[in-house]
Structure 1
């Protein structure tokens, strides 16, 4: 019989550190922290983030409904980093990074 296995913190950390590109790492971090599908995380726009209420509005998410998800405490730092790195457009992930470091995430912290 198949059993669920919860990953330990160090396993999750190793998984995210094994992703070489910051953009892909950021997408998966956002999806993991919020419970969004990767396709929903990729289509996030700056206007979807409500920092005051610590919420993300997911437009046309699952079942084509608008949903709200809670912003985890570390996501605003990731989103600020992406906002500084993004190019023209309204979304965080519309343009690929031009070069840039592929090492450690600048926002990563130990608990």
Structure 2
């Protein structure tokens, strides 16, 4: 396997982990936003927006379950070069994870402001 090749099963694990983390963040967002949404429950449009957040959370977890269930059916020896696909991902840390590059330790101090 060349340097830029990764096992498809490993890539599926990475994508699954990203989806799980996004689902967790969406749940956290729901928990924070939930009380405000309840106060605005009489507003139909606001109620619909709250349902969209829940749908996003459910879909993220559904996709992670799909990736987990798909992994055993992929032949163990299959590999792919993730670099071309990862190069279109504009978030550098996500792009690195999808390439299989080990995560670099954060240089930010706890409590330090971080701009996105």
Query: Is the TM value for this pair above 0.5?
Result: no
Identify the TM-score tier after normalising by the shorter chain. Answer: under 0.3
Q: TM-score, normalised by structure 2?
A: 0.24
Of structures 1 and 2, the one with the larger relative CO (CA 8 A, separation 6+) is 2
The answer to which structure has the higher strand fraction is: 1
Structure 1 or 2, whichever has the larger Rg, is 2
Using the size of structure 1 for normalisation, the TM-score is 0.24
